[in-house]
Structure 1
């Protein structure tokens, strides 16, 4: 896996989004923010190295939909799925995705993005 430098963050709560953008920026990452899963999906391109997405998002797509879409486009891309209310089953997550409950620690997000890729989903 290539190094992670540009992270797409999909979060509909402005304060949480700004906080994570700031924290990741302080660690030297370029961050692309999105407030809906649909807008995040439109931002996915080869310059995005990893995704952090909340599950519960406004609109017709959830963060799990976004995570699955990203995994189909880029199976090796690290994906971190977060939620304060929804606890997905392992089979609900795409390959290489890690779930972290809110409130999460930045160190846990960074560790999830930099872990070795799994060969196949369970």
Structure 2
């Protein structure tokens, strides 16, 4: 029996967060939702296998700050950063993280996570 990874999903827009969580749940992924980087930072423990975060998260730290923290705490953690308003440069992203612009298809997010998991396994 294979188990799906647990994905921390960080999005400040409630409808977008619920939609992505629902789509991932339909594929039997275990998800942990967070609406801001402060809450998500407390969830960066051994119980997550990947991170998907929006860049613009309202007040407080950005998704880029969260992604860098996650990469520092959990080297090799697959990280996907998304945004509809900001396009980060390669150097803005932590090493290995992938940027996917909004609007995205679920398949794009899953492909980005899979590429990172394969790269880290090699």
Residue segments in structure 2 that go unaligned for 5+ positions in a row: none
Tell me the C-alpha RMSD between the 2 structures. 1.2
Aligned residues: 116
1:5-26 CA distance string (max 9 Å, x none): 1000000000100000000111
* Aligned-pair CA distance for 1:4: 5.4
Residue segments in structure 1 that go unaligned for 5+ positions in a row: none
Would you tell me which structure has more helix in proportion to its own residues? 2
- TM-score, normalised by the number of residues in structure 2: 0.91
2:119 is matched with which residue? Answer: 117
* Aligned-pair CA distance for 1:109: 0.4
CA distance in 2, matches of 1:9, 1:55: 12
1:43 is matched with which residue? Answer: 43
* Aligned-pair CA distance for 1:44: 1.1
2:18 is matched with which residue? Answer: 18
Displaced runs of 4+ in structure 1, greater than 4 A? none
CA distance in 2, matches of 1:83, 1:112: 15
